[in-house]
Amino acid sequence: MKEHEIRPQDLLKKYLQLCAQDAERCFTDVDRRDLPCVACGNEQSTFQFEKNGFAYACCDVCATLYQTPRPAIEIFEDFYRNSESSRYWADVFFPSVAEIRRDKIFRPRVERLARLCEQRGLSVQRLIDIGAGYGIFLDEWKKRFPEVEAVAVEPSVSLAQECRAKGFQVKESIAENVTGLDGFADLAVCFEVLEHVDDPLAFVKVLKNMVRPGGYVFVSTLCIDGFDLQTLWEKSTQISPPHHINFLSVRGFESLFERGGLEEVDVITPGVLDVDIVRNALKTDSTLLAGNRFLSSLLSHDKGAKAFQSFLSENQLSSHAWVLSRKPLQKDNNE
């Protein structure tokens, strides 16, 4: 898989332009509050950079990168309902790559996640997808496991309708406001949502409450330990406020999910695009690796670049992270 297949450069450029315009239109002159680390809760952090008027800091303990000071959640909610960049993503960007993502991302995702469940002895009879979007993951999971009872949680009116059209039960709401699903699922999944949420700890607790005791919570999201994010830093197109505001480290994931009352927290980074993303960025700005002769040489040769990507994926050094964790069998103080 290549970056241009799932993020065509012309569409990505337009999307990022709209993000910058929305940041100015929706968030200028609004009150903001300082936050502790969104992963481990530590109060001490170090300012890193500002982008689109949003400042980012790095936690001094777990090295999570997060946006602070942060506008109120109500402003973000209005932004997601009414912004041009959100509409462009839902109406133009994603539909144009939906089927290639089905083939390149969703089908392999189903197969790999199914193997992880099998390794843990988890039989998935009931499944919830939080932030289900177009329902492609649930669609592919049902093809492999036709008997599963699947529920889509999706706040967008148009995307919720897409899920209904595929035959799924839908909760048309943000996860924090969903009722009637406590203890429902054997597995709750959430793809590429955690980087957007205002309060990751509260969000993880919501996911935990949706699964039965002994059930599992699965999240995929961006990891700041990843090669392309560490290399490109504020120049990364994945750091695109107001949309992406949380970039947890591996240590941050472990701390967050344990604070959320989950156990057996397993973090892997199966990403395959880090090297390709950096190579593409170098085509735009050849000075990005100035002075780093080793990396410049490594990335210039296909064989070495391919081997390096495998190394990153296998050693928790890709920017695409999977986190799988288990809800304890007995209730605890976080219930």
Tens place of pLDDT per residue across the chain (335 aa) = 899 999 999 999 999 999 999 999 999 999 999 999 999 999 999 999 999 999 999 999 999 999 999 999 999 988 888 899 989 998 899 999 999 999 999 999 999 999 999 999 999 999 999 999 999 999 999 999 999 999 999 988 888 999 999 999 999 988 888 999 999 999 999 999 999 999 999 999 999 999 999 999 999 999 999 999 999 999 999 999 999 999 999 999 999 999 999 999 999 999 999 999 999 999 999 999 988 999 999 999 999 999 999 999 999 999 999 999 999 997 655 54
What range does the domain containing 163 cover? 3-326
> How much is the pLDDT for 42?
97
Instruction: Identify any residues that bridge with 51 across adjacent strands, giving them in sequence order.
Output: 54
For residue 333, is it within any domain?
no
For residue 335, is it within any domain?
no
> How much is the pLDDT for 332?
53
3-state secondary structure the chain: CCHHHHCCHHHHHHHHHHHHHHHHHHHCCCCEECCCCCCCCCCCEEEEEEECCEEEEEECCCCCEEECCEECHHHHHHHHHHCHHHHHHHHHHHHHHHHHHHHHHHHHHHHHHHHHHHHCCCCCCEEEEECCCCCHHHHHHHHHCCCCEEEEECCCHHHHHHHHHCCCEEECCCHHHCCCCCCCEEEEEEECCCCCCCCHHHHHHHHHHHEEEEEEEEEEEEECCCHHHHHHHHHCCCCCCCCCCEEECHHHHHHHHHHCCCEEEEEECCCCCHHHHHHHHHHHCCCCCCCCHHHHHHHCCHHHHHHHHHHHHHCCCCCEEEEEEECCCCCCCCC
Domain count, the chain: 1
Lookup result for tokens 């093809």: 143
Residue 285 sits in a domain whose CATH number is 3.40.50.150
For residue 132, is it within any domain?
yes
For residue 75, is it within any domain?
yes
Token output for 305 = 């670049």
CA distance 248 to 200: 10
Token output for 264 = 């057996």
> How much is the pLDDT for 278?
96
For residue 334, is it within any domain?
no
> How much is the pLDDT for 157?
84
> How much is the pLDDT for 331?
61
For residue 312, is it within any domain?
yes
For residue 296, is it within any domain?
yes
> How much is the pLDDT for 330?
74
Residue 320 amino acid letter:
H
Q: Contact, 302 vs 2, CB < 8 A?
A: no
| Cis status of the peptide bond prior to 242, with omega within 30 of 0 | yes
For residue 313, is it within any domain?
yes
Q: Contact, 154 vs 132, CB < 8 A?
A: yes
